[in-house]
């Protein structure tokens, strides 16, 4: 008699990451493994040193930019919607809306379908394909912002606040802290969509990835290095500068006149976080789903069971219980919130 | 409402005074009446709305959501107003048809009775955005706590109308929210408002510090000298039965000093220093005075133990005569005669200090007869009473500051121009028995050094960091390693809040002692001796 497979036999947490025994592969492993399927290019999900990597072309390109071309033994590009057979397990990549190239990975075998969504968001983002809800038996969701306090406002409203502040303080510069992959390019694109057409100054750490985004047809307008030593302070009056958040505490930031420090992150929803970080203008722009997006997505997948990972698992598990949906935290280690 | 909410959000995170002023003037310029006036009143603390207790707020929210999820949320955020503003569930299918204005919100809150208050508040929260919900909750729970003083708000108004802030302070107590006539004047659309209100504040006259070389140019015969009392500058005004005790910036502080206010049974405007004790017997120390500061209500016991009195040094008005245009010598005569008619347990005269030359005064200044004296004041005999800080007629010549050698322990990143520099320093002195000395923090300073020195300390902090907590770095500091800072300060208070038991007044870095080994920095006993002395 054919017996339906148990979900926990199809994917299970191991120290290296989420493992599929019948397919003999890992999803987003945090240590080098034989075969890795990778959802997106953030460094806590995409590590170097695997024997073979299956990911979207964009994710492979990004890994190449970050780690060098020899980041894995062999690579294979997965096209969205195309099913690939791995040792009898059907694997399909679907857009996750997180950053350029980001994917959810649908794993199907023995009548069970599990979607590992990686990191995702539902807000519109001109720098990547939108998330597609996939019907499944088990949905694995992130919970970075898995508390009812996290409600991300429309991103264009946040960008409007920067532009208003730039008009209010024309003699000062605005330094926007944004992670190098995804957030930085999204912020630049939002500035362009809001009609900002002056050059945007960028920190060196953003150059390669931004250039790659532009090569993929994502127009970020004129970008100039914010690193030219010879430039006088006055030249940066009124400038908008984008860089990794760590750089703003650095001596690098001294070249800019009386900077207003801005930080684009979902964490900026909490005032105390902004205050502690010395952020004067918090921009609540996140590449992760907020509370409302998490619960709407769970409902849309129709999943009868939810596995919750990296973030505030307990609140989301509690919500599922109240809704009569089976849920449990999936204790995976090694994931930080690099993307926010 | 949304613009007010946005203003609050910006102000709370903007550390620089100029930045706050720009935000405030832009707001007053771009927002119409009566909203801007109500916002002004909310900031200056002149808006009265029946308060909602935190317990009520919590009850309202758990009626609407799972208490467990609320608990997780509150634990995470740590601030009730903020948590409620974020988690407040909008009723199903409820789409507010318009964002309420600040005037509508204030109107509905003020009109609410005690019993329907919670319902009115819930409706307002249903209709508001997250930021607006936070602002509404701040309005009803009292105290915006956004780091903007009434004085700063008035300065922003002065900037808006290009007038002197003294003009606004003088008008202030005759005006009421939403201050439509004030804005009309500031925008040049109407005459300056006149007020028939009694016992208004008159802007005070301030002094300049004596700088090197100032005295050589002055003739001692032109100046009167008085002790500089380290109390609270107050203005006592009684007019037509109305009594007001104002702070230096025009805040009404009568409520905090009911004992002194009760003795104000005259027709005059007097300038002086509020101190505690009985002037006929003994004047209290600064620690005694502290017992009367920052209290919402004062118990009879405290009033009896630490009675407030006023040491008068000028008269702006007596029995309806405005004396401000008269020379100081003339005003002083009138004051001397007038003070004699007042309750001697509550009012006395600040004595003149006789001197013939600057050297004599210097000696007196170095050895004042009472610990609450912080130097001498010099006042030109012929000077009229002028609002603000005119250069020349009044000088303050303070006692030299105390200094101590302390060791840098923690450094915090600054803001604005200093945002990439570690510019706020916590320093400590040694305590404990010989052989097992430990540093105990005694204060924090963020100025007194040059830009060049700031760069040097910044580099030192970066090179000697042992731990980081957010924007704060813990710096290597032990008997063998550490940067010694010479810290200057004006005085010490006892403090139960600090582990060291002392709190410094007005500390600043006076010198970097790169040459001095950390082990030779001062000990806590040095400070304790100062406290007892």
pLDDT score of A2 more than 60: no
Given A261, A272, A277, which is nearest B78 (Cβ)? A272
Q: Are residues B367 and B297 in the same domain?
A: yes
Inter-chain residue contact A271 with B13, CB threshold 8 Å? yes
Give me the percent of chain A exceeding a pLDDT of 90. 83
Q: Are residues B430 and B305 in the same domain?
A: no
Task: Decide if B385 contacts B329 (C-beta within 8 A).
Answer: no
Nearest to B129 by CA among A288, A20, A151: A151
Give ∠ CA B198-B201-B202 in degrees, rounded to 5: 115
pLDDT score of A339 more than 60: no
Q: Are residues B348 and B429 in the same domain?
A: no
Residues 6+ apart with CB under 8 A from A80: A56, A93, A94, A95, A103, A129
CATH code of the domain containing B371: 3.30.470.30
- Residues of B in CB contact (< 8 Å) with A are 6, 9-10, 12-15, 19, 22-23, 26, 65-66, 68-70, 72-73, 76-79, 82-83, 86-87, 130, 413, 415-417, 419-421, 470-471
Q: How far is C-alpha B45 from the geometric centre of its chain's CA atoms?
A: 14
Whether A7-149+288-329 and A155-283 share one fold: the answer is: no
- Residues of A in CB contact (< 8 Å) with B are 147-151, 153, 161, 165, 168-169, 172, 248-254, 258-261, 269-272, 274-282, 312, 314-315, 318-319, 322
| ipTM value for the complex | 0.93
Specify the pLDDT at position A333: 65
Q: How far apart (Å, rounded) are the C-alpha atoms in residues A300 and A307? A: 15
A-chain residues near B413 (CB < 8 A): 249, 278
- Mutation for testing the B interface, residue in A148, A276, A279, A294 having most B CBs under 10 Å: A148
- Mutation for testing the B interface, residue in A145, A174, A266, A280 having most B CBs under 10 Å: A280
Mean pLDDT of A271-300: 94
- List the A17-20 sheet strands across, edge first: A12-14, A17-20, A25-27, A35-37, A50-55, A72-77
**Chain B residue with the nearest C-alpha to that of A323:** B66
pLDDT score of A5 more than 90: no
**Chain A residue with the nearest C-alpha to that of B83:** A149
Nearest to A248 by CA among A224, A220, A278: A278
Which ranges of B45-179 would DSSP assign to H, the alpha helix? Answer: 54-62, 67-77, 80-87, 102-111, 117-127, 130-141, 150-161, 165-172
Specify the pLDDT at position B204: 93
Is residue B162 situated within a structural domain? no
Could you give phi then psi for residue A305, rounded to 5 degrees?
Answer: -140, 140
Task: Decide if B150 contacts B168 (C-beta within 8 A).
Answer: no
Q: Are residues B285 and B322 in the same domain?
A: yes
**Chain A residue with the nearest C-alpha to that of B72:** A315
- Domain ranges, ordered by start, for chain A: 7-149+288-329, 155-283
Mean pLDDT of A89-118: 97
Is residue B179 situated within a structural domain? no
CATH code of the domain containing B497: 2.40.50.140
Inter-chain residue contact A280 with B79, CB threshold 8 Å? no
Residues of chain B falling short of pLDDT 70: 195-196, 416, 532-533
Q: How many CB atoms lie within 10 A of CB B49?
A: 17
Task: Decide if B408 contacts B485 (C-beta within 8 A).
Answer: yes
Inter-chain residue contact A318 with B72, CB threshold 8 Å? yes
B-chain residues near A253 (CB < 8 A): 419-420
CATH code of the domain containing B48: 1.10.3260.10
pLDDT in tens, A213-252: 999 999 999 999 987 665 666 778 889 999 998 887 777 7
Specify the pLDDT at position A1: 44
**Chain B residue with the nearest C-alpha to that of A233:** B417
Q: How far is C-alpha A260 from the geometric centre of its chain's CA atoms?
A: 25
Is residue B181 situated within a structural domain? no
Q: Are residues B244 and B377 in the same domain?
A: yes
Inter-chain residue contact B415 with A254, CB threshold 8 Å? no
**Chain A residue with the nearest C-alpha to that of B418:** A258
**Range of the structural domain that residue B499 is part of:** 402-532
Domain final residue, candidates B115, B141, B167: B141
Domain final residue, candidates B104, B121, B141: B141
Mean pLDDT of A278-299: 96
Inter-chain residue contact A161 with B6, CB threshold 8 Å? yes
Specify the pLDDT at position A229: 61
What CATH class is the domain A7-149+288-329?
Answer: alpha beta
DSSP state letters, B487-525: EEESEEEE-SSSTTSEEEES-EEEEEETTS-GGGS-BHH
Q: Are residues B214 and B336 in the same domain?
A: yes
B-chain residues near A270 (CB < 8 A): 76-77, 82
Inter-chain residue contact B416 with A254, CB threshold 8 Å? no
Number of domains in chain B: 3
Q: What's the gap in Å between the CA of B453 and the closest CA on chain A?
A: 15
Task: Decide if A202 contacts A236 (C-beta within 8 A).
Answer: no
Q: What's the gap in Å between the CA of B183 and the closest CA on chain A?
A: 21
**Chain B residue with the nearest C-alpha to that of A173:** B416
B-chain residues near A147 (CB < 8 A): 69, 72-73, 76
Given A169, A279, A314, which is nearest B72 (Cβ)? A314
Given A248, A251, A319, which is nearest B69 (Cβ)? A319
Q: What's the gap in Å between the CA of A222 and the closest CA on chain B?
A: 27
Within 13 A of B41's CA, how many CA atoms are on the CB side?
23
Q: How far apart (Å, rounded) are the C-alpha atoms in residues B154 and A207? A: 46
Give ∠ CA B100-B103-B109 in degrees, rounded to 5: 85
Q: Are residues B394 and B417 in the same domain?
A: no
Is residue B154 situated within a structural domain? no
Q: What's the gap in Å between the CA of A187 and the closest CA on chain B?
A: 20
Q: For the domain covering A155-283, report its CATH number.
A: 3.40.50
Inter-chain residue contact A274 with B415, CB threshold 8 Å? no
B-chain residues near A172 (CB < 8 A): 416
Work out whether strand B484-489 and strand B465-469 pair parallel, antiparallel, or are unpaired: unpaired
**Chain A residue with the nearest C-alpha to that of B469:** A276
pLDDT in tens, B2-19: 999 999 999 999 988 999
Structure tokens at B38: 């109500």
Given A150, A168, A322, which is nearest B22 (Cβ)? A168
A-chain residues near B72 (CB < 8 A): 147, 312, 314-315, 318
Q: What's the gap in Å between the CA of A337 and the closest CA on chain B?
A: 16
Is residue B252 situated within a structural domain? yes
A-chain residues near B6 (CB < 8 A): 161
Q: How far apart (Å, rounded) are the C-alpha atoms in residues A290 and A120? A: 10
Report cis status (omega within 30 of 0) of the bond before A34: no
């Amino acid at each position: 008699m054919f017996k339906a497979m148990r979900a926990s036999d199809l994917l299970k947490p191991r120290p290296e990451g989420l493992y599929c025994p019948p397919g003999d592969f890992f999803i987003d492993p945090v240590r080098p493994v034989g075969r890795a399927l990778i959802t997106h290019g953030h460094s806590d999900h995409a590590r170097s040193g695997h024997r073979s990597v299956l990911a979207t072309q964009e994710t492979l390109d990004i890994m190449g930019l970050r780690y060098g071309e020899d980041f894995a033994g062999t690579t294979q590009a997965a096209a969205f919607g195309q099913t690939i057979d791995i040792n009898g397990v059907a694997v399909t990549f679907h857009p996750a809306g997180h950053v350029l190239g980001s994917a959810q990975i649908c794993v199907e075998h023995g009548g069970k379908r599990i979607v590992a969504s990686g990191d995702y968001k539902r807000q519109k983002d001109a720098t990547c394909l939108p998330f597609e809800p996939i019907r499944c038996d088990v949905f694995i969701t992130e919970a970075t912002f898995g508390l009812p306090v996290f409600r991300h406002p429309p991103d264009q409203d946040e960008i409007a606040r920067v532009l208003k502040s730039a008009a209010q303080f024309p003699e000062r510069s605005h330094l926007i802290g944004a992670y190098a992959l995804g957030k930085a390019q999204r912020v630049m694109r939002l500035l362009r969509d809001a009609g900002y057409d002056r050059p945007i100054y960028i920190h060196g750490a953003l150059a390669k990835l931004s250039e790659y985004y532009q090569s993929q047809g994502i127009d970020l307008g004129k970008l100039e290095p914010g690193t030219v030593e010879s430039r006088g302070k006055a030249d940066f009056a009124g400038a908008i500068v984008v860089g990794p958040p760590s750089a703003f505490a650095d001596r690098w930031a001294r070249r800019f006149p009386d900077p207003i420090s801005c930080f684009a992150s979902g964490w900026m929803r909490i005032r105390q976080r902004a205050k502690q970080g010395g952020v004067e203008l918090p921009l609540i722009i996140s590449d992760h789903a907020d509370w409302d997006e998490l619960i709407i997505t769970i409902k849309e997948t129709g999943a009868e069971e939810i596995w919750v990972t990296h973030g505030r698992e307990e609140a989301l598990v509690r919500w599922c219980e109240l809704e009569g949906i089976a849920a449990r935290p999936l204790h995976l280690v090694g994931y930080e919130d690099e993307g926010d | 409402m949304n613009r007010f909410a946005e203003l609050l959000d910006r102000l709370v995170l903007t550390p620089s005074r100029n930045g706050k002023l720009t935000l405030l003037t832009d707001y007053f310029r771009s927002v119409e009446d009566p909203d801007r006036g109500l916002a002004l009143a909310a900031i200056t603390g002149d808006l009265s709305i029946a308060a909602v207790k935190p317990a009520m707020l919590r009850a309202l929210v758990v009626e609407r959501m799972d208490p467990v999820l609320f608990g997780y949320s509150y634990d995470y955020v740590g601030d009730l107003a903020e948590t409620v503003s974020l988690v407040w569930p909008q009723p199903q299918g409820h789409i507010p048809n318009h964002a309420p204005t600040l005037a509508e919100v204030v109107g509905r809150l003020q009109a609410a009775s005690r019993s329907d208050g919670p319902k009115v508040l819930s409706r307002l929260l249903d209709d508001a955005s997250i930021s607006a919900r936070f602002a509404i909750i701040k309005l009803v729970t009292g105290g915006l706590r956004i780091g903007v003083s009434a004085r700063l708000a008035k300065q922003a108004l002065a900037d808006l109308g290009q007038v002197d802030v003294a003009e606004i302070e003088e008008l202030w107590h005759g005006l009421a929210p939403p201050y439509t006539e004030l804005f009309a004047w500031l925008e040049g659309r109407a005459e300056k408002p006149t007020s028939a209100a009694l016992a208004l504040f008159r802007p005070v006259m301030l002094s300049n510090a004596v700088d090197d070389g100032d005295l050589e140019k002055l003739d001692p015969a032109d100046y009167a000298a008085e002790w500089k009392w380290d109390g609270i500058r107050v203005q006592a005004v009684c007019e037509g039965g109305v009594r007001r005790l104002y702070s230096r910036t025009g805040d009404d502080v009568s409520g905090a000093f009911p004992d002194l206010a009760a003795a104000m049974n005259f027709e005059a405007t007097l300038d002086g220093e509020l101190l505690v004790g009985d002037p006929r017997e003994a004047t209290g120390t600064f620690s005694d005075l502290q017992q009367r500061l920052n209290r919402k209500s004062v118990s009879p016991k405290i009033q009896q133990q630490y009675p407030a009195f006023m040491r008068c040094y000028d008269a702006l008005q007596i029995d309806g005569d405005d004396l401000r245009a008269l020379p100081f010598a003339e005003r002083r005569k009138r004051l001397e005669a007038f003070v004699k008619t007042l309750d001697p347990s509550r009012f006395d005269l600040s004595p003149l200090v006789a001197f013939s030359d600057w050297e004599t005064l210097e000696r007196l200044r170095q050895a004042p007869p009472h610990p609450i004296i912080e130097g001498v004041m010099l006042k030109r005999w012929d000077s009229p009473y002028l609002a603000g800080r005119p250069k020349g007629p009044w000088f303050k010549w303070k006692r030299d500051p105390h200094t101590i050698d302390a060791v840098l322990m923690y450094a915090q990143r600054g803001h604005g121009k200093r945002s990439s520099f570690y510019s706020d320093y916590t320093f400590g002195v040694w305590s404990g028995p010989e052989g097992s000395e430990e540093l105990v923090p005694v204060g924090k300073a963020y100025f007194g050094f040059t830009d060049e020195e700031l760069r040097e300390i910044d580099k030192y902090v970066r090179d000697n960091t042992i731990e980081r907590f957010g924007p704060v770095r813990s710096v290597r500091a032990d008997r063998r390693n550490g940067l010694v800072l010479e810290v200057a300060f004006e005085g010490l208070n006892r403090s139960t809040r600090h582990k060291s038991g002392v709190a410094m007044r007005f500390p600043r870095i006076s010198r970097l002692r790169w040459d001095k080994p950390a082990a030779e920095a001062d000990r806590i006993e040095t400070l304790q001796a100062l406290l007892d002395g």
